């Protein structure tokens, strides 16, 4: 049976108290809905239908990179009503998996197991929670067969004591949904058409509804307010940190590492506190990341050390490099092996050759730098003339004295030497010394001004 997936994302999410549609709030740098869509894609369904309503334009825009069939639910009359809106687009002989846009972390394995259980009849993902408040409760007969779901609001005192809850995730043959959804009524506490009511109807028709359980609570946590959003975020982050540690990474504090993307680590990587990884980050063997670093879309080679407070984005740090403390590597920075970028140095579109050193208080932008170069403190590549950006080329073994301004476009050939405090506007040839500064004048017998009377 081919699989089609329906994701419900039309609700407003009133309890978020936000302008942003609930499903666009983020966990680990991705919207709730994107998490669900990505998991859905892993199941390789024939189609994914997303039911939207509140802020639908914004939601569609945010997910425009994905191939999705958008279904509009003008009025949010309940989860059953929402699935009804998608039915006309669903092939009648498919199996339908319903996911909620506000339940972001259900795993592929859990969903696959559920789908495997549904064939001729529906299957429901349930969970047993210590605190089931707020969720729909699972009703079973004396033999343990599922009878239906009762919503928290509609539940009796006794039913509220049931700890097995409806996660919201269910799989059902499209034909069952077609048969039962139109018969669901809204005669309940919220005046809504409840999707789980199709199960009750199926059971009345003599069908068995299978249930399966998620491996962990995190998988079924729904986000209704910002407290729950944060709970999901923290739990997700804790698990990611744990995963890294199990792979052999030293993490100083699992509660102070945030991964908003994917991290791949070699052996014996060590990560200090308050580190944020975004996008795609690859760390080689023996890499050390100091405290308070932010790395986004970065590769770091074997043995490299990123010292405290460094901010690195879209850059490649080679083997055995040293970066920071307080370094900022902006997009297009490439450090060849053994290069060193020290404190208060900013780089952008810069290739720093092997073993070259840019140790203090410097800006290197639009620069191609050779090997074994030494850039003195306070050096600036003046790459911008107010209109255009220009390149600076620095050959192997060049020495640039402190506090030099290198006005681009400019080439300093191999072995070139720039005297401290120079403003360099013309190219420097191989092994030339360039000094571009006023000569020093010493005035002998100079009298310091004295302090005048009646002035403080």
Query: Of 293-352, which residues contact ligand UD1 (CB under 6 A)?
Result: none
Q: For residue 6, state whether it binds ligand UD1 (rule: CB under 6 A).
A: no
Q: For residue 222, state whether it binds Ca ion (rule: CB under 5 A).
A: yes
Assigned token pair, 311: 């901010």
Distance CA(147)–CA(19), nearest Å, equals 39
CB contact at 8 A, 62 and 37 = no
Which of Ca ion, ligand UD1, none interacts with 334 (beta carbon under 5 to 8 A by kind)? none
Q: For residue 225, state whether it binds Ca ion (rule: CB under 5 A).
A: no
Nearer of residues 133 and 443 to ligand UD1, judged by Cβ: 133
Q: For residue 78, state whether it binds ligand UD1 (rule: CB under 6 A).
A: yes
* Strand extents, DSSP E, 285-416: 288-289, 294-300, 305-306, 311-317, 322-323, 327-329, 333-335, 340-352, 357-369, 374-375, 380-382, 392-394, 399-400, 405-407, 410-412
Q: For 283, what's the count of Cα atoms within 13 Å in the CB-facing half-sphere?
A: 27
In angstroms, what is the minimal distance from the CB of 193 to ligand UD1?
A: 8
Choosing from 27, 146, 195, 406, the residue that interacts with ligand UD1 (CB under 6 A) is 195
Which of ligand UD1, Ca ion, none interacts with 10 (beta carbon under 5 to 8 A by kind)? ligand UD1
Q: For residue 9, state whether it binds ligand UD1 (rule: CB under 6 A).
A: yes
Indicate if 360 belongs to the active site. Answer: yes
In angstroms, what is the minimal distance from the CB of 125 to ligand UD1?
A: 10
Which of Ca ion, ligand UD1, none interacts with 284 (beta carbon under 5 to 8 A by kind)? none
Choosing from 34, 151, 219, 272, the residue that interacts with ligand UD1 (CB under 6 A) is 151
Q: For residue 362, state whether it binds ligand UD1 (rule: CB under 6 A).
A: no
Distance CA(295)–CA(280), nearest Å, equals 9
Nearer of residues 166 and 393 to ligand UD1, judged by Cβ: 166
Q: Which stretch binds ligand UD1 (CB under 6 A): 2-10, 241-249, 291-299, 443-451?
A: 2-10
Distance CA(16)–CA(200), nearest Å, equals 31
Nearer of residues 222 and 291 to Ca ion, judged by Cβ: 222
CB contact at 8 A, 429 and 416 = yes
Distance CA(35)–CA(24), nearest Å, equals 10
Each residue 98-117 as x (binds ligand UD1 by CB under 6 A) or -, in order, gives --xxxx--------------
Distance CA(125)–CA(107), nearest Å, equals 12
Total binding residues toward ligand UD1, as defined by CB under 6 A: 28
User: Strand 327-329 and strand 311-317: pairing?
Assistant: parallel
Burial call 240-272: b when 16+ CB within 10 Å, e when fewer: bbeebeeeebebbeeebbbbbbebebbeebbbb
Polymer length of the chain: 456
Catalytic residues: 360
Residues that bind ligand UD1 (CB under 6 A): 8-11, 51, 73, 76-79, 81-82, 100-103, 135-136, 149, 151, 165-168, 194-196, 222
């Amino acid at each position: 049976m081919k699989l089609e997936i329906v994701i419900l994302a039309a609700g407003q999410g009133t309890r978020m108290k936000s302008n942003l549609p609930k499903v666009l709030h983020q966990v680990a740098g991705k919207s709730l809905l994107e998490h669900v869509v990505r998991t859905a894609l892993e199941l390789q369904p024939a189609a994914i239908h997303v039911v939207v309503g509140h802020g639908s334009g914004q939601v569609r825009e945010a997910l425009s990179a994905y191939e999705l069939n958008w279904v509009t639910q003008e009025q949010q009359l309940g989860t059953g009503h929402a699935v009804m809106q998608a039915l006309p687009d669903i092939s009648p002989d498919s199996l339908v998996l319903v996911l909620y846009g506000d339940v972001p972390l259900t795993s592929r394995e859990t969903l696959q197991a559920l789908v495997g259980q549904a064939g001729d009849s529906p299957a429901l993902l349930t969970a047993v929670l210590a605190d089931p408040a707020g969720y729909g409760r699972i009703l079973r007969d004396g033999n343990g067969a599922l009878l239906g779901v009762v919503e928290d609001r509609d539940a009796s005192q006794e039913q509220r004591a049931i700890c097995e809850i409806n996660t919201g995730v269910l799989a059902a043959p499209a034909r069952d949904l077609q048969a039962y959804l139109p018969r669901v009524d809204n005669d309940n506490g919220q005046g809504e058409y409840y999707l789980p009511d199709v199960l009750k109807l199926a059971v009345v028709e003599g069908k068995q509804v299978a249930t399966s359980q998620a491996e962990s609570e995190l998988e079924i946590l729904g986000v209704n307010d910002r407290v729950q959003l944060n709970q999901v975020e923290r739990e997700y982050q804790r698990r990611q940190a744990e995963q890294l540690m199990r792979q052999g990474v030293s993490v100083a504090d699992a509660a102070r590492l945030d991964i908003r993307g994917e991290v791949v680590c070699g052996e014996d990587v060590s990560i200090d506190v308050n580190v944020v990884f975004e996008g795609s980050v690859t760390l080689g063997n023996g890499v050390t990341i100091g405290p308070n670093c932010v790395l986004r879309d970065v590769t770091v080679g074997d043995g490299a050390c990123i010292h405290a407070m460094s901010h690195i984005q879209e850059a490649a740090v080679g083997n055995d490099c040293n970066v920071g403390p307080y370094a900022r590597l902006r997009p297009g920075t490439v450090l060849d092996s053994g290069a060193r970028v020290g404190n208060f140095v900013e780089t952008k579109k810069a290739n720093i050759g092997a073993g070259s050193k840019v140790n203090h208080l410097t800006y290197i932008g639009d620069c191609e730098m050779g090997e074994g170069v030494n850039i003195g403190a306070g050096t600036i590549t003046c790459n911008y003339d107010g209109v255009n950006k220009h390149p600076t080329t620095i050959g192997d073994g060049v020495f640039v004295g402190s506090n030099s301004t290198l006005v681009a476009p400019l080439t300093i050939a191999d072995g070139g030497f720039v005297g401290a405090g120079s403003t360099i506007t013309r190219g420097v040839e191989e092994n030339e010394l360039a000094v571009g500064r006023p000569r020093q004048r010493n005035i002998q017998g100079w009298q310091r001004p004295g302090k005048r009377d009646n002035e403080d």
